[in-house]
Structure 1
Amino acid sequence: MEQGGRDVLASSFGAAAADYAAHRPDYAPAAVSWALAGAPGPRVLDLGAGTGKLAGNLVAMGVDVVAVEPDSAMLVELRRGLPGIRALPGSAEGIPLPDGSVDAVLAGNALHWFDMDVASAEIARVLAPGGVFAGLWNVMDDSVEWVAGLARVAGSAAIGVRDTVSSWRGATAALHLPGAGGLGRFGSAEQAEFAHGQRRTAESLVATLSTRAGVLVMPTQEREALLGRARAFLTSVPATAGGEFTLPLMTGVLRTRRL
Structure 2
Amino acid sequence: MDDHLLRSSFGAAATVYAEHRPDYARAGVRWALEPAPGPRVLDLGAGTGKLTATLVELGADVVAVEPDPAMLTELRRALPAVRALPGSAESIPLPDASVDAVLAGNALHWFDPVVAGAEIARVLAPGGVLAGLWNVMDDRIDWVSALERVSGSAVIGPRDTLSSWRAATAAMLVAGTGLGTRFGASEQVEFPHGQRRTADSLVATLATRAGMLVAPEEERDATLGQIRAFLATRSETAQGEFTLPMLTGVLRVLRR
TM score, norm. by length of structure 2: 0.97
User: Could you list the per-position Cα deviations for residues 121-148 of structure 1 after superposition, in whole angstroms to 9, with x for gaps in the alignment?
Assistant: 0000000000000000000001111101
CA contact (8 A) 2:121 2:255 kept: yes
Q: Does 1:236 align with 2:217?
A: no
**Dislocated runs of 4+, deviation >6 Å:** none
CA contact (8 A) 2:52 2:62 kept: yes
Partner Cα distance (2:89, 2:4) in 1: 13
Structure 2 residue aligned with 1:42 = 39
* Aligned counterpart for 2:94 among listed residues 94, 97, 101: 97
Deviation at 1:183, TM superposition (A): 7.0
CA contact (8 A) 2:173 2:180 kept: no
* Aligned counterpart for 2:85 among listed residues 85, 88, 100: 88
Structure 1 residue aligned with 2:147 = 150
Partner Cα distance (2:122, 2:52) in 1: 21
* Aligned counterpart for 1:177 among listed residues 163, 173, 179: 173
Partner AA of 1:70 in structure 2 = P
Partner AA of 1:112 in structure 2 = H
Structure 1 residue aligned with 2:63 = 66
Deviation at 1:82, TM superposition (A): 0.8
Structure 1 residue aligned with 2:131 = 134
Secondary structure of the residue that 1:254 maps to in structure 2? Answer: strand
Partner Cα distance (2:9, 2:35) in 1: 35
Structure 2 residue aligned with 1:124 = 121
Partner AA of 1:105 in structure 2 = V
Deviation at 1:178, TM superposition (A): 6.2
Secondary structure of the residue that 2:233 maps to in structure 1? Answer: coil
Partner Cα distance (2:91, 2:131) in 1: 18
Secondary structure of the residue that 2:19 maps to in structure 1? Answer: helix
Aligned residues: CA RMSD = 1.2
Call closer, same or farther: CA 1:179–1:88 in 2, change over 3 Å: farther
Partner AA of 1:176 in structure 2 = M
CA contact (8 A) 2:172 2:180 kept: no
Partner Cα distance (2:143, 2:174) in 1: 36
Deviation at 1:168, TM superposition (A): 0.8
CA contact (8 A) 1:178 1:186 kept: no
Partner AA of 1:75 in structure 2 = L
Deviation at 1:185, TM superposition (A): 2.4
